[in-house]
Structure 1
């Protein structure tokens, strides 16, 4: 047996003002989308904004349901909307932010496993990485160059 270590590369920004202007705009759009989330059960709102290569911005937010598995995360709402409405466009960047009703979220919240898998599918489909920026309500903003930084042993079509 041998052990291997998997490491990820990420960048940490201490404030939104440190981000490139185009990403500041995307993060602001994600914050706006967060406010429109439908989260009556968790009271944990998530907003996502992605930019297409054309410059178009697509928003998403979490949409909960009393039958919990029927809800959908903000990241997948945005990515699936982009795929449905702009099927031949490349997603270049995604910004994600959160807001909890019960407390201030000061740590960066990464996409869940289902969202990571969905984002990996879109990276594979478009044959290029998606830069992902995520944060809490305040605190540091984390950037990964690709979802594969967060899902290093992901499943994809080559296994089928």
Structure 2
């Protein structure tokens, strides 16, 4: 793969392109995501709404779920883009899914190319993990 900056530029372009496919007739709020796997594949996602709002799905989760459904489980970088004043921030559900699958780097951005790079711990400092299900407390709560 290219330099980190070139990688982010590539993912930014893929996320921006995916954003165009948003199905957001209710909110009119389009979001795109691009996920790079450790094997070098890129999966994209966009938000898809439903009249029954709880059935809607965010771009970040769609990209991750597409990758997992294709057998990928190790992730390098996720870029999320929205038409926002500052870099877009994932919802809580997306943060939990991002943490579950251990994405190494999350890049939040907007159409002005403002970037905010974050680790999963920065994005979700006290996330729920499988260790809690095993009776272990990984967050020392």
TM-score, structure 1 normalization = 0.77
**Quick check: 1:159 aligned with 2:132?**
yes
Q: Name the structure 2 match of 1:5.
A: none
Q: CA RMSD in A?
A: 1.3
Which of the two has higher C-alpha Rg? 1
Q: Name the structure 2 match of 1:14.
A: none
- Between the two proteins, the alignment pairs up a number of residues equal to 130
Q: Structure 1 stretches (4+) deviating beyond 6 angstroms? A: none
* Contiguous gaps of at least 5 residues in structure 1: 1-18, 100-104, 124-128
* Contiguous gaps of at least 5 residues in structure 2: 134-141
Name the SS for the 2:95 alignment partner. Answer: helix
CA distance in structure 2 between the partners assigned to 1:110 and 1:68 by the alignment: 19
Name the SS for the 1:44 alignment partner. Answer: coil
Q: Name the structure 2 match of 1:135.
A: 109
Q: CA deviation at 1:137?
A: 1.9
**1:28 pairs with 13, 19, 34, which one?**
13
**1:111 pairs with 80, 90, 111, which one?**
90
Name the SS for the 2:107 alignment partner. Answer: strand
Name the SS for the 1:49 alignment partner. Answer: strand
Q: Name the structure 1 match of 2:44.
A: 59
1:3-33 per-residue CA deviation (whole Å, 9 max, x = no partner) reads xxxxxxxxxxxxxxxx611110000100000
